[in-house]
Amino acid sequence: MELMTVKIDKPEDSNVILGQSHFIKTVEDLHEALVNSVPNIKFGLAFCEASGPCLVRASGNDDGLKQLAQENALALSAGHAFIILVSDAFPLNVLGAIKRTPEVCTIFCATANPVEVVVAETEQGRGILGVIDGYQSKGIETEDDVAQRKEFLRKIGYKL
């Protein structure tokens, strides 16, 4: 078995959602889940088919994000993995709908941070072991940090 990391390539102002599902209709169902959650969302998604022709299947409403999702999925080439690149929305706007998609098994991450995916490769194929989402913790928040967090959430409209 060989271990490797695959860096996810994404625009700086976008978010990535990485998960695993189990069926070819994932592409169409995730597309519907995204547009039904946020009507003006911009996204590209790709799915690694793990049997039959083993193709990267893709959809989206933004050609650049769709192309990048396909490239990332091919770089991963991990059984039934899917990747969604999102702009003009946040993962928290769509995660509920994604999780309710019947074929979705796991969400590995949903983030705007840099992401590295830890992948194992055997003679049979590849699988995702986990993700490195962002950076290492630098300490514990202070009372000032708590106040800044609460102020930020209210400023962007996620808390009253």
Residues sharing a CB contact under 8 Å with residue 121, sequence separation 6 or more, in sequence order: 1, 2, 3, 4
**CA separation for the pair 83, 115 (Å, rounded):** 12
Looking at residue 38, the DSSP 8-state letter turns out to be -
Closest CA to 77 of 130, 131, 120: 120
The domain 2-155 is placed in CATH, from the list 3.40.1520.10, 3.40.190.10, 3.30.930.10, 3.20.20.80, at: 3.40.1520.10
Give 38's pLDDT tier (boundaries 50, 70, 90). Answer: very high
pLDDT the model gives residue 159: 85
Domain boundaries, the chain: 2-155
Q: What is the pLDDT of residues 91-133, one digit of tens each?
A: 999 999 999 999 999 999 999 999 999 999 999 999 999 999 9
- Report how far apart, in Å, the C-alpha atoms of 73 and of each of 6, 23, 25, 160 are: 10, 16, 16, 38
pLDDT the model gives residue 158: 83
| φ/ψ (deg, to 5) at 156 | -90, 5
The answer to whether the beta carbons of residues 81 and 47 sit under 8 Å apart is yes
**CA separation for the pair 46, 29 (Å, rounded):** 12
With a cut of 90, say whether residue 160 has pLDDT above it: no
Rg of the chain, C-alpha, whole Å: 17
pLDDT the model gives residue 156: 85
The answer to whether the beta carbons of residues 129 and 120 sit under 8 Å apart is yes
Give 154's pLDDT tier (boundaries 50, 70, 90). Answer: very high
